[in-house]
Structure 1
Amino acid sequence: MKTRAAVLNEIGVAGPYARSQPLRIEELELDAPQEGEVLVEIKAAGLCHSDLSVIDGNRPRPVPMALGHEAAGVVKELGPGVRDLEVGDHVVTVFVPSCGHCAPCAEGRPALCEPGAKANNEGTMISGGRRLSRADGTPVNHHLGVSGFADRAVVSRNSVVRVDPELPFAHAALFGCAVLTGVGAAVNSAGIRPGQSVAVIGLGGVGLNSVLGALVAGAGSVIAVDIDAGKLDLARRLGAAHTINSSEDGAADRLRELTNGGVDCAIEMAGSEKALEFAYRGTRRGGTTVTGGLAHPEKHVSIQQVSLVAEERTLRGSYVGSCVPIRDVARYVTLFRQNRLPVDQLLSGTLKLDEINTGFDRLASGEAVRQVIVFD
């Protein structure tokens, strides 16, 4: 069968992307789903910094690659062995397929699935195969097991979670990455407790979801930190008690002043080593610093080592919000329906697939928080 997809052929092409066109819309061959796989008709797909980091070279991946990992759609065909889904089910995609058998999966940490990580790095399905190719037979790599910037995708059964069919697709797509990663970092990774003070550094789509996650977890006060005035204003509207522009002199001192020496928990979502250092400096003695931002692999942070011991600090990473998707997607959708997790307020607009390069210009400039491509 055919699918129309956004394909990245070269990493590191300079912007503006509307002119350089790093993503080309191509008609690809798409194989039928194999054992343990499903065919999904994509209805909506979000533009995420994880996609942008492949385009600009911060997260090198093999090319050519059909990008996109945060998507929602309808199951159209079941591969052999798939018995717990039905044709017509609405699903959201999850960007780490989990095998269910490796050590992390056995510990209830599917985001760290070892075969899933290997497949994502190599641009394959978790089975090791590829289902995308050009007409001449040239294989095209998968992005995080999804390749959701396309009207159809074949994915592992373990890359999708069934959702309520009444949930609009443009909202549903966000639950596969932005919501899981951001809310999960606050609820699961940080384990925020009622009344605690929290700072969120980096207010993209994921960081703003961390603000919402901290609030829904019962944080006593949330301080939002960024360099963009518009995003700081949005964070206030979402419920942040204070905002700090980190580009201004004395920003770190202001964070400590607001919290009598530092927050109980700081969550870094900027994907910058400087932002993580800022987050660590702003965390109190005995507090926790969580990082979910994906920096370039060659970047390193500098922290005072003795503070980890003498101040009993915790510094931990958070991938996919330390979530168990089949459990947490349903929970977060319920909170959304209760108006306690207003993720729809993070939508900056919708696009057509042909406008994808312009959309990534907006994302790179900070003009947009979360844009969603909608398919007719």
Structure 2
Amino acid sequence: MRAAVLHEIGQDKLEVLDDVEAVGFGPGRVRIRVRATGLCHSDLSAMSGVLPQPGPFVPGHEGAGEVLEVGEGVTRVKPGDRVVVCWLPACGACPACKRGQTELCLAGFMNAGTPNFRRADSGSDIFGFAGTGTFAEEVVVDAGCAVPIPDDVPFDIAALIGCGVTTGLGAALNTADVEAGSSVAVIGCGGVGVSAIQGARLRGAAEIVAVDPVAARREAALKFGATRAVSPEELADAKQQVTGGEGFDYVFEVVGRSATARTAYETTRRGGTLVVVGAGAMDDHLQLNMFELFFDEKRILPSMYGGGDVLRSYERTVALWRAGRIDLAGLITHRVPLAEVNEALDQMRTGAALRTCIEI
């Protein structure tokens, strides 16, 4: 089959190969024909080495498709079912799951160090990003990673639900629990940031300021519910105009860098809430002094995969989409075939795309 492969961490181009096999099928496993996958900034971060990922590997973790085959013991899905790929499935038995914090379950990471693919000719191993690797025509995953979706949900929409939309919406609805009438700033307005904006709008935030250096993303943010959109250089003025200089009730950092997280902290009012959504590097440290941490009483809330039960979040997103309360189709600003994946990477790097759908 075809798959897009990064041969070495640090390279910026993928090679689309046609001699790749999905491996690991057996009891408790599911083989999926991938139909659509979204390009998430986390894929770029794994390629560059910001996020830890063994190589060579097939990027992609935001996918949807059809079940081709199920292994012994799999009962939740059957061949022909439409599914979304969940890159962080909950085991249901670990301490985090028992506490109801299924987004913190580490069971899904257990397979991240096991190759998902191999070259048919050479037999060399290839990993899948986050234990999946959806930039491929087929993928084999644990049964918990294959989540059934209703027949009326298109594959491209389902793919977005698999990561970006769930993460952004959940940050506003689950982690922050945004209050009606509040003021919100979202720093970083790609697909995840715009989803956080939609979540804040759903909760009735009075002011939602979108912050992004790319003009096209700022314009898009206004269409998804932001009340104003500014460049990073204009954020201080927006803070003054919207909050009288006090700071925003909620600030979402959706970039994953200590510099923007520090800006987000300074933009949050005393007693307000900073939500860290962006996935950053392990050697990038956020510095806070002990006095400000005590004196400002700002809540700092990291948000992992939307900060709530993933399966319930999927169901909620589908319900909101069906009701016309959120716009998911509008997030997909580019569509490309797998053969043009490198062009899609360039669009993501320049900020030209909110989300690119790779049709496989």
- TM class, shorter-length: over 0.9
Match of residue 110 from structure 1:
102
Q: 1:293 to 1:32 in 2, by over 3 A?
A: closer
1:190 aligns with 2:188: no
**Whole-angstrom distance in 1 between the partners of 2:177 and 2:294:** 21
Conserved in 2, the CA contact under 8 Å of 1:10 and 1:22?
Answer: no
Say if 2:136 is the partner of 1:150.
Answer: yes
Q: 1:262·1:284 contact (CA, 8 Å) conserved in 2?
A: yes
1:290 to 257, 260, 275: 275
Instruction: Give yes or no for contact 1:25–1:354 (8 Å, CA) kept in 2.
Output: no
Scaled by the length of structure 2, what TM-score is found? 0.95
Q: What residue in structure 1 maps to residue 342 of structure 2?
A: 357
Question: 1:200 matched to which residue of 2?
Answer: 186
SS state at 1:174 partner? helix
Separation of aligned partners in 2, 1:283 and 1:256 = 12
Letter in 2 for 1:194: A
Query: Residues 101 and 308 of structure 2 are in contact (CA less than 8 Å); yes or no, is this contact kept in structure 1?
Result: yes
Partner of 1:13: 11
Alignment match, 1:307? 292
SS in 1 for 2:131: coil
Q: Distance in 1 between matches of 2:187 and 2:130?
A: 25
Task: Tell me, yes or no, if the aligned pair for 1:91 and 1:161 is still in contact at 8 Å.
Answer: yes
Percent identity over the alignment?
Answer: 37
CA distance in 2, matches of 1:256, 1:103: 44
1:35-81 Cα distance to aligned partner (Å, 9 max, x none): 22111111100011010111222213111111110001111111111
Using the alignment, how far apart are the partners of 2:305 and 2:289 within structure 1? 27
Aligned pair 1:229/2:215, yes or no? yes
2:315 equivalent in structure 1: 330
CA-CA distance at 1:26 after TM superposition = 3.8
Question: For the residues of structure 2 that align with 1:221 and 1:312, how far apart are their CA atoms?
Answer: 22
Structural RMSD (CA): 1.6
Residue 33 (1) aligns with residue 19 (2):
no
Q: Give the Cα–Cα distance (whole angstroms) in 2 for the partners of residues 209 and 26 of structure 1.
A: 35
Find the counterpart in structure 1 of residue 84 from structure 2: 92
Q: Distance in 2 between matches of 1:253 and 1:307?
A: 23
Q: Indicate the SS of the match to 2:306.
A: helix
1:155, distance to aligned residue in structure 2 (A): 0.9
Partner of 2:19: helix, strand, or coil?
A: strand
Report the Cα distance in structure 2 between the residues aligned to 1:36 and 1:235, rounded to whole angstroms.
41
State the SS of the aligned residue for 1:199. Answer: strand
Q: For residues 113-262 of structure 1, what are the structure 2 equivalents within 5 Å?
A: 113-120=105-112, 122=113, 124=114, 130-135=115-120, 136-248=122-234, 251-260=235-244, 261-262=246-247
Indicate the SS of the match to 1:68: coil
- Counterparts of 2:195 and 2:15, CA distance in 1: 27
Partners of 1:100 and 1:106 within 8 A in 2: yes
Task: Give the aligned residue type for 1:233.
Answer: E
The CA deviation at 1:145 is 2.0
* Alignment-derived partner of residue 127 in structure 1: none
> Which digits, 9 at most, give the CA deviation of each residue in 1:252-288, with x for residues without a partner?
3532441231111111101221111111111111111
Instruction: Name the CA distance, whole Å, in 2 between partners of 1:74 and 1:357.
Output: 25
Which residue of structure 1 lines up, in the alignment, with residue 46 of structure 2? Answer: 54
Matches of 1:256 and 1:42, distance apart in 2: 48
Distance 1:131 1:13, change over 3 A: closer
- SS of 2:229 mapped into structure 1: strand
Measure the CA separation in 1 of the matches of 2:249 and 2:345: 35
Q: d(CA) in 2 for partners of 1:160 and 1:312?
A: 41
User: Across the two proteins, how many residue pairs are aligned to each other?
Assistant: 358
Q: Distance in 2 between the 1:275 and 1:257 partners?
A: 20
SS of 1:133's partner is strand
Contact 2:180/2:206 (8 A) holds in 1: yes
1:14-43 CA distance string (max 9 Å, x none): 5xxxxxx33433421223632221111111
Q: Does 1:64 align with 2:48?
A: no
Is the 8 Å Cα contact of residues 116 and 132 (structure 2) preserved in structure 1? Answer: no
Contact preservation (8 Å) 1:145, 1:156: no
SS at the partner of 1:320?
coil
Q: Residues of 1 paired with 2:29 and 2:119: CA distance?
A: 21
Distance in 2 (alpha carbons) for counterparts of 1:364 and 1:235:
18
Q: Distance in 1 between matches of 2:302 and 2:128?
A: 25
> Is the 1:308–1:314 contact (alpha carbons within 8 Å) kept by the matching residues of 2?
no
Moved over 6 A (4+): none
Q: Structure 1: how far apart are the matches of 2:290 and 2:111?
A: 34
Give the drift of 1:86.
Answer: 2.2
Runs of 5+ consecutive residues of structure 2 not aligned to the other structure: none
Question: CA separation in 2, counterparts of 1:256 and 1:339?
Answer: 34
Following the alignment from structure 2 to structure 1, what is the Cα–Cα distance between the partners of residues 258 and 106?
26
Q: What is the rounded CA distance, in whole Å, between the counterparts of 1:189 and 1:30 in structure 2?
A: 36
Q: Which runs of 5+ in 1 are unaligned?
A: 15-20, 125-129
- Stretch deviating more after TM superposition (233-242 or 178-187): 233-242
Equivalent position amino acid for 1:360 in 2: L
TM (normalized to structure 1)?
A: 0.91
